[in-house]
Structures are given as C-alpha cells and as structure tokens.
Amino acid sequence: MKKKILFFIMVCLTGAAALTGALLCEKMSDRRNRRMDMEYTDEMLLELPYFEIVAVKEENRGLPCDLCSYSLGDGYIHLLLPQGINEKAVTVYFRDMDGNYLARRVYDMTKRVMIGNWEVVLDHHVLPVMYFETEDHETYDSMNASETKDIICDGSMQLYDDKTEGVSSIAEASLQGRGNESWGSNRKKSYTLRLKKAQDLLGMGKNKNWNLVGNAYDNSLIKNLTFNEISEKAGIDFQPGMQNINLYVDGIYEGVYTLTTKVSVDKNRVDLEPGDYFFKMDPPVALQPLRYESNTWFEDGLPYPTADLRFPENATPAMQSEALSILQTFIDTVEDPSSESLSGVCDIDSLARYYWIEEASMNFDAWQRSVYMYYRRSDRRIHMGPVWDMDRALGSPYDKEGMLFDTPEGFRVRNAGWYTSLFENEEFRAAVNDVYFNGGIREVLFDGISEFEDNKNAMGDDGDLNFVLFGHANDVGAPDIFSEAGDYASYCSMMTDFYRKRVEWIDKTMREEKK
C-alpha cells in the first residue's frame, strides 16, 4: 500500500466509534443499472450527507468485481484494487445511500485526486485476496443472521495472489457459517468454503472443502498461523495448511481471514487407512457421538463426556462400538497414574509433544473441545493431533478449573483435565522431559518467538487495516489482556512479548527441575 495509509491508520485509531464514519457499500439489486438523470459535480457531491465510490468491473480491465471505497473520516477515500490495474485510467461511479448513481469519473491515480478536501488514494493489499460474489446478497445477509448456520450462500470465488501475477484460482463456490461461540461475532463471521470442483488453493493441496476463519478472539490474526507452524516443527502430524488472506464479499471488504484446509480425513489432509479411527473430543455438536466415561471431564458444551467419531463417516454400529472401546481404554489408561501400559495404548512421544504445544500456548481448550486424535490399526495405538483452534491461546483472562490464563508464568495445562493424572505417571513425565531437552521441543518453542515476529511482518499494512476496521470490534464478549494496545504493531508486540516470557519461564523451570 502507499505510505499515506500509515498516516490514515495513526489518525483513525479511535476504536469502534470511528466505524461510524466508514463508507462501506452494500450490494444493490440494480447495481448494473448506472443510468443517471444528471451528472453531479464535485460541489454537488460534497453537499450530500453520504456518498461512496465504486470501481466497476465492466470498465476496469483486470477488476474481478465491483469494488467499493472506504474511509474513516480521515480525509482519505481509499480504493483497494488488485495489482495490474491501469492506474492511469480508473473508472469509478459515485452512489448515494440509496444506491442511486450520481456521477462517473475516470481518474489518473498516478496523480493526486481531490474531491473537495477528500483525497482519493489507490492502495494494494500485501496478502492474497479472495473475491466472493454471491448469487443473492440477501442470502448472504440471512446466513450471517442465522443462529443455526444451516443457510448456504452460493456464488463464485476468485483468489488473487500477486506472487503468481494475478488470478491463482477461480471457481463456483458456496459459503456456510462455521464455528461455535465465535459465530456470535457481528463483525467477522467464520465460514466453510466449498468449491464445486476441487482446487489447490495457494499450494495447500487439492480439495473442495476449506475454512475461512475470522479469528474473532485474536486481533493479532496470527495465533492460529504461528502455533500451526510451531506444531508442525514440533513433530505433530497432519497439521492443516494455513495462509492469511483478505476477503471481499460482493465488493465489500470483510477483513483479513485465515484460509485453512479442513481438519478431515483425506490423502492431502489427515491421511488414514480403512480400519483407522479419527476422534474429536467433546465438541458442542457430535455427528457420530461416542459417550465415554471419565474421572477428569467437566461440562463444557455437552452434558456428558462425548467424542465425535470423524472417521469413518457413516460408521456401522460395530465400528462405533470398537471405536468407543479403543477410546475408553485410552481414557482409562491416561487417567490411571499407576498404569504401566500407557505406551501400549498411545504413542507417548506424540502425547508429550502435543502437551508441550498446549502448555506453551496456554491453550484454554487444551483437553476438551478442539482436541483431535487418531487410532492407527497398524500399531494399535492412539496418536495425538493435529493441533487446532488456537485463537484463544496466550493470555486469556478466563477462570477454568480454578485457574486464570492471563500471566505467562506457571504451569496451567498440566494441572487440568487428564494431564493431572498423566503427570503422576512416571513414564509420561519422562517422555515430557525427554522431548523437551533431547527431542527438539525446547528449540522449537524458542524459535516460535521469531515466527510470531515474521508472521506479523508478513501482514504488512493489511494487519493495520484490519485492526482499524475490526480489531476493536470484539463483540463476542471475550476479554483481552492486550486491549491497551493502540495499534496493530503494539498489539502484536505485547502478545509476542507474552509468549517470549512464557517460554523463558518454562525453560528456567525445566532446568531447575532437572537439577
């Protein structure tokens, strides 16, 4: 983006109140009817209480769809357009709040463009950009207003990546709501993206089904991304592909989203064989529920301990019975401190590595909710992973099982759930120490500091823009210990410093315990 946006960001960091000045346009049913009874002059436009600028697809070669301007009352009107647009001749239309077209202009955006005291600025995104055009915008609005997430919005998707010099993917597609508590966000919903035909998006493998995660609990937008990288380097198998992108729906900027592969069984994802099983622990909704017994479970979604059997789909009653038996044996073993058969029912190395990711991240849902594990018939053991859903990690000021997660010091995960029993098991404690000092975990956790910094830097001005438009619009009721940050860079710096202190405290404590 141009340097002017940096000034724009500094001026506009006034929180949610600044959103009232946003010029975000709605898709109109007659958007292609641009007949004007008269051509408004700039003076006439400036007398209006509201107007917006639309760069139109039909009159700008290389534009994927009509794109709307935005401003926050800072003296700039911003047009975010793809690279490769003819900046010397950008055709735009002016509309009023009722969608009436008032004027047509062709601007040379290589020069300064002024409308009264407003300057029109052409910007470009740093991250890849996804443009989704709906077949019916009312369906999109109804989907976002739905509590049941059963409405599907059909349309088409174009994914632009300047690294590939233009369009990297184009497909018929649909959006559908996803997420549990985060679906309550009024600003940034998360979606399932389904393509009519499988495609390889941004090099993450060919598939039809994807996630668009809004990161409703994470104003940094990089917790999921960074802990996914840390988990992969720590040796957790089947970590999903993730990349941050900008999302537009019908020309309206919806912010930075994390495009991810779905956590599902597939040759490009969780690669399992017939006879294997894939579990998700204690989800709010289970498609193939397995009710198990537990001494360490507590109610957090469902009224009793339940795992969802994610693979195989449409499991027979015999398969479900066997899967439940395998799961119950695992639960009984990890909850028995005196058990000598832990290595016989699970891959202890995988369990110890998984623990360290959850502990270092202070994952609030470390032993319930988004916990995945799989059973391989080839070795007849449970393996942990992939790690998923980390937007509530690092400093969540919640009380769970009598613990707060808002300071970087202190063990949290080992004092909750099944880990309370596991840390009384000599075999598991030995594995935890071994992977930390000899299995590369210590180095991976410290490397995470630079990965947070690198991922923040890779956001460029897109992180600043998302923070201004959405960062202070935390309407899911989630407290945030980094809320004092006045801008995106400060927010990420505070969060990274929290993580640095966290791994330093862990290392100091582990070394002291080793003596």
Name residue, tokens 């919005």: 153
Quote the pLDDT of residue 13: 33
Separation of CA 454 from chain center:
17
What CA–CA distance (Å, rounded) separates 228 from 221? Answer: 13
What CA–CA distance (Å, rounded) separates 218 from 209? Answer: 23
What are the structure tokens assigned to 308, written together?
């969802």
Phi and psi angles of residue 514, each rounded to the nearest 5 degrees, phi first? -75, -25
Evaluate whether 474 touches 16 at the Cβ level (below 8 Å).
no
Evaluate whether 93 touches 107 at the Cβ level (below 8 Å).
no
Q: pLDDT means per 10 residues in the chain (515 residues)?
A: 38 32 39 67 93 92 88 82 90 92 95 94 92 95 91 95 72 91 78 95 93 91 97 97 96 94 92 97 88 82 84 97 98 94 96 97 79 96 95 81 84 90 96 98 98 97 89 60 88 96 98 89
User: What ranges in 102-149 are assigned the alpha helix state H?
Assistant: 137-145
Beta-strand pair 277-281/289-291: unpaired
What is the H or E stretch that residue 106 is in?
strand 101-107
What CA–CA distance (Å, rounded) separates 1 from 462? Answer: 9
What are the structure tokens assigned to 58, written together?
């039909």
In 10 A of CB 489, how many CB atoms?
16
Quote the pLDDT of residue 267: 85
Q: Quick one: three-class SS letters along 284-353?
A: CCCCCEEECCCCCCCCCCCCCCEEEEEECCCCCHHHHHHHHHHHHHHHHHHCCCCCCCHHHHECHHHHHH
Q: For CA atoms 140, 141, 142, 148, give the dihedral sign.
A: positive
What CA–CA distance (Å, rounded) separates 6 from 106? Answer: 26
According to DSSP, the residues that pair with 106 across neighbouring strands are 91
Question: Which residue type sits at 503?
Answer: V
Quote the pLDDT of residue 37: 66
Q: For CA atoms 283, 289, 295, 298, give the dihedral sign.
A: positive
Predicted TM-score (pTM) of the model is: 0.89
Q: Of 172, 235, 245, give the one whose Cα is nearest residue 215.
A: 245
Evaluate whether 79 touches 121 at the Cβ level (below 8 Å).
yes
What are the structure tokens assigned to 444, written together?
């991976």
Quote the pLDDT of residue 25: 42
User: What ranges in 78-178 are assigned the alpha helix state H?
Assistant: 137-145
